């Protein structure tokens, strides 16, 4: 009896050892696989990881854990964008000059054919690969406003709350904000904010990249690298500071390599007929890990398809959200259960 028990004990011990050896072998293979991906002959993974991680505010460590600064700098230089260095030609924008009867393409029909009973805006969507584009078409840009939280620097609000408090028909996120460890309270914009022709926030000293993105007194989208006071003098009324500028005067920025990672994104754009497009791009819908989304090259291609004349990138990633009345239209990946997060401002349509 004792011999049998001893034999069974030995068998169990051997099975346990075999189990742990198998687990260690799997972990070793996983580690080797990661090393091959990170340092192997195919540069695709390295470029993807570095450009995606380094274009976020809170996850740069993912690239710096594996690669040194020289490698990161080299990859970023090979995968970047060059903006068009021109002032927006506002004389080319003729608000209301669109024709709603004859459509020269399916893309024009998607934009110009209004929903029955709604002359203010329409929303349509389409999928490309695993990502979804939600396009909001605003026919009258005078209906667009910049909504701000009551007290900048105190505590942010969700875009849905900003929309509700301003009686908005719809809203998208606007500028960036300080976001330590990815859970910021959304109260402190990272760049300049202009509201009703006044600078209401200057953000981090010397701003935070990008340029001023907003509307002038004639409801034309302005993209400018001017100082805030000079831009206001030229007629800028509402604006946030962000970027890059994707299209200026119908000319697309130059995209080198991937251009800077793959993310959920929010884009603001205007056509020559004055129609404004808000484009929100979903990724995988996952709140953690790889969130997917679109590259700048893919975004520019879509903008060209819809004859955009001026366009700029707004805050993206976990911030990208589209709200229609009380309903969240896309699948945001913020830290709240609903996928929302707190923001300092939003572009709204009244």
The pairing of beta strand 81-82 with beta strand 254-255: antiparallel
**3-class secondary-structure state, position 345:** strand
Same domain, 9 and 156: no
Could you give the number of structural domains in the chain? 2
Cα–chain-centroid distance for residue 234?
A: 28
CA distance 302 to 205: 34
Asked if residue 146 and residue 18 are part of one domain, the reply reads: no
Q: How far apart are CA 278 and CA 138, in angstroms?
A: 8
Q: Where among 78, 93, 108 does a domain terminate? A: 78
* Chain segment 38-48, per-residue pLDDT in tens: 454 446 667 66
Q: What is the pLDDT of residues 223-267, one digit of tens each?
A: 999 999 999 999 999 999 999 999 999 999 998 887 778 899 999
Give the mean pLDDT of 178-198: 91
pLDDT at 285: 83
The string of DSSP letters for 157-213 reads B-HHHHHHHTT-SEEEE-S-B--GGG---S-SBSS-EEETTEEEE--STT--SSEEE
Summarize pLDDT for 268-312 with one digit per residue, the tens. Answer: 999 999 999 999 999 888 877 778 899 999 999 999 999 999 999
**Same domain for 341 and 259:** yes
Contacts of 68 (CB under 8 A, 6+ apart): none
Question: Are 184 and 129 part of one and the same domain?
Answer: yes
User: Looking at the structure, do residues 86 and 68 belong to the same domain, yes or no?
Assistant: no
Residue 203 near residue 239 (C-beta atoms within 8 A): no
Query: What is the DSSP code (8-state) at residue 41?
Result: S
Total residues belonging to the chain? 350
205 and 66 in a common domain: no
H-state helical runs in 251-333:
296-305
Q: How far apart are the first and last CA of the chain?
A: 85
Whether residues 173 and 222 share a domain: the answer is yes
| Residue 343 domain boundaries | 81-349
Query: What token pair was written down for 335?
Result: 């830290």
Instruction: State residue 72 phi and psi, 5-degree precision.
Output: -60, -45
Per the CB < 8 A criterion, the answer to whether 350 and 162 are in contact is no
Q: Are residues 68 and 97 in the same domain?
A: no
What lies within 8 Å, CB to CB, of 210 at 6+ separation is 191, 241, 242, 243, 244, 245, 312, 313
207 and 99, same structural domain? yes
Percent of the chain with pLDDT over 70: 79
Can you give the pLDDT at residue 27? 42
Last residue in a domain, options 63, 78, 93:
78
Tell me: pLDDT of 102 over 60.
yes
Question: Is the same domain home to 44 and 91?
Answer: no
């Amino acid at each position: 009896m004792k011999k049998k028990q001893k034999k069974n004990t030995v068998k169990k011990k051997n099975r346990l050892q075999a189990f742990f050896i198998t687990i260690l072998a799997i972990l070793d293979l996983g580690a080797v696989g990661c090393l091959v991906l990170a340092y192997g002959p195919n540069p695709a993974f390295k470029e993807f990881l570095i450009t995606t991680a380094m274009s976020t505010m809170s996850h740069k460590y993912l690239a710096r854990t594996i690669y040194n600064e020289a490698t990161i700098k080299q990859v970023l230089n090979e995968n970047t964008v060059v903006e068009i260095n021109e002032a927006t030609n506002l004389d080319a924008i003729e608000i209301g000059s669109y024709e709603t009867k004859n459509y020269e393409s399916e893309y024009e029909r998607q934009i110009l054919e209004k929903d029955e009973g709604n002359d203010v805006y329409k929303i349509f969507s389409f999928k490309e690969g695993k990502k979804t584009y939600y396009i909001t078409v605003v026919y009258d840009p005078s209906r667009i406003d910049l909504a701000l939280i009551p007290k900048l620097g105190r505590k942010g609000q969700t875009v849905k709350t900003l929309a509700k408090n301003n009686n908005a028909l719809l809203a998208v996120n606007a500028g960036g904000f300080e976001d330590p460890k990815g859970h910021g309270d959304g109260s402190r914009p990272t760049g300049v904010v202009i509201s009703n022709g006044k600078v209401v926030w200057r953000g981090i000293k010397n701003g935070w990249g990008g340029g001023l993105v907003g509307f002038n007194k004639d409801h034309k989208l302005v993209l400018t690298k001017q100082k805030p006071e000079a831009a206001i003098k030229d007629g800028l009324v509402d604006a946030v500071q962000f970027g890059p500028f994707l299209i200026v005067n119908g000319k697309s920025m130059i995209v080198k390599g991937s251009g800077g990672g793959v993310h959920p994104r929010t884009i603001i754009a205007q056509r020559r007929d004055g129609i404004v497009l808000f484009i929100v791009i979903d990724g995988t819908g996952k709140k953690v890990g790889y969130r997917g989304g679109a590259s700048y090259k893919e975004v520019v291609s879509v903008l060209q398809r819809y004859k955009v004349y001026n366009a700029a990138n707004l805050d993206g990633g976990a911030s990208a959200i589209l709200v229609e009345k009380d309903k969240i239209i896309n699948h945001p990946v913020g830290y709240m259960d609903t996928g929302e997060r707190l923001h300092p401002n939003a572009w709204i349509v009244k």
